[in-house]
Structure 1
Amino acid sequence: MNLTRDEKMKFGFDIDDTLINLREHAFSLYKQKLNKDLSLDVFHAIKKVEIHEPFGLTEDQGKEMWNSSLEEIYFTTCPPFTGAVETLQELYNQGHEIYYITARPKEHGERTKDWMKQQGFPIQDERFFYGMKDDEKINIIQQLKLDYYVDDKPAVLNTLTGEPVKLIVKDQSYNQDLDMDRIVTWTDFPEIIQGN
């Protein structure tokens, strides 16, 4: 299956909640740690990125919980979204350039890259960027002159709406207001690219 037209292109991808199901993974970890039996319906009803409210945690407690759990959240059994690895492998095999642009902190960058490689994502070290704030991603995306960029966060995508890059949002409960091409499942990706 040829995902794209014949010309070689530059694709940029966020990682967390775009390629991998991080928030749902963290939600499961929170359930275990806090001994709370909350359904996935509760998770899917959360309309913001942060997941602490259903557990009765304040914003400060939520930050503390997230930060103290980062090792487990980032480097244990968080699954890639179905079809994400295969889609990026297909792009790579067709000769396209694949860039990863994540706001994960600098101290987790190299381990994140290694973890992503173990999951099967096609990664070239010089095309893996980390350690910037969400609103700083625009600088890297401008420098790389990407053709396409995929992210889940409105705060990131909204900084890019005036740029020449084609934006695609990975569907999440907190980004329903965004009016742009949307990946609900990664099997949507070829159709979106071919339609542009």
Structure 2
Amino acid sequence: MKFGFDIDDTLINLREHAFHLYNKKLNKNVELSAFKALNTLEIHEPFGLTAQEGGAMWNSLAEEIYYTTCPAFEGAIETLQQLVKDGHEVFYITARNAEHCERTKDWLIQNQFPVKEGHFFCGMKDKEKIRIIEDLQLDYYFDDKPAVLETLLDVPTKVFAIDNSYNQELKIPRLLSWFDLQEIIADKKPGL
């Protein structure tokens, strides 16, 4: 089978990582509960920043946010490694800006994500992911962002939302833990 994955806040805990960096850089101690209560992708509000200030903060910290110690969600790396070991194909489809593509791919490899040549797609707009997903004829696709997930409601691919505070309004299947993926596959196999 073919599996597609967004990266940020799907496989890696990027927003929470950035939240901790904001606390450090702004010399603040905003509680993690404020982060977990956010119903937006943007994380600037608990710090009292405007959207413009928040965007500037993110851009100024992009190097640290994307390429330092951002942790993978528990079980994500092992789950993808097992998929590959079991003979499945794993594709990465990220809307990170094009200037981050090669370094993102290298970062994934350095952090033990299984990345095969030709299975990494980067630099498209959120709404353009649908074309790649359809062209690849993915069996499963996993993402966190409502703007992306909403474009995939009518594709034959089995689409799952990675459960986050900002995508609770979506009425599509959810993945609560990467350890649950093997069970989902097992439940779906008879119908494939």
TM range (shorter): over 0.9
Query: What's the offset of the Cα at 1:37?
Result: 0.4
- TM-score (ref. length: structure 2): 0.96
Residue 189 of structure 1: which of 148, 156, 181 is its match?
A: 181
Aligned counterparts of 2:172 and 2:186: Cα–Cα separation in 1: 15
Q: Which runs of 5+ in 2 are unaligned?
A: none
Q: What are the within-5 Å matches in structure 2 for residues 34-183 of structure 1?
A: 34-183=26-175
Cross-structure match for 1:4: none
Q: Which amino acid letter does the alignment assign opposite residue 120 of structure 1?
A: Q
Q: Which amino acid letter does the alignment assign opposite residue 170 of structure 1?
A: I
Query: What's the offset of the Cα at 1:152?
Result: 0.3
Aligned counterparts of 2:79 and 2:187: Cα–Cα separation in 1: 16
Q: Which runs of 5+ in 1 are unaligned?
A: 1-8
Aligned-pair identity (%): 62
Q: Which amino acid letter does the alignment assign opposite residue 107 of structure 1?
A: E
Query: What's the offset of the Cα at 1:16?
Result: 0.2
184-193 or 82-91, larger mean C-alpha shift:
184-193
Aligned counterparts of 1:192 and 1:152: Cα–Cα separation in 2: 17
Aligned counterparts of 2:178 and 2:31: Cα–Cα separation in 1: 24
Aligned residues of 1:14 and 1:102 also touching (Cα < 8 A): yes
Aligned residues of 1:26 and 1:73 also touching (Cα < 8 A): yes
Aligned counterparts of 1:96 and 1:19: Cα–Cα separation in 2: 17
Aligned counterparts of 2:165 and 2:74: Cα–Cα separation in 1: 18
Query: What's the offset of the Cα at 1:117?
Result: 0.6
Aligned counterparts of 1:37 and 1:90: Cα–Cα separation in 2: 38
Aligned counterparts of 1:131 and 1:74: Cα–Cα separation in 2: 15
Secondary structure in 1 matching 2:118: helix
Secondary structure in 1 matching 2:155: coil
179-188 or 40-49, larger mean C-alpha shift:
179-188
Query: What's the offset of the Cα at 1:94?
Result: 0.8
Query: What's the offset of the Cα at 1:125?
Result: 2.4
Aligned counterparts of 1:176 and 1:188: Cα–Cα separation in 2: 19
Aligned residues of 1:152 and 1:169 also touching (Cα < 8 A): yes
- What is the RMSD of the two structures over their aligned residues, measured on CA atoms? 0.8
Aligned residues of 1:181 and 1:192 also touching (Cα < 8 A): no
Q: Number of matched residues?
A: 188
Aligned counterparts of 1:135 and 1:103: Cα–Cα separation in 2: 9
Aligned residues of 1:13 and 1:100 also touching (Cα < 8 A): yes
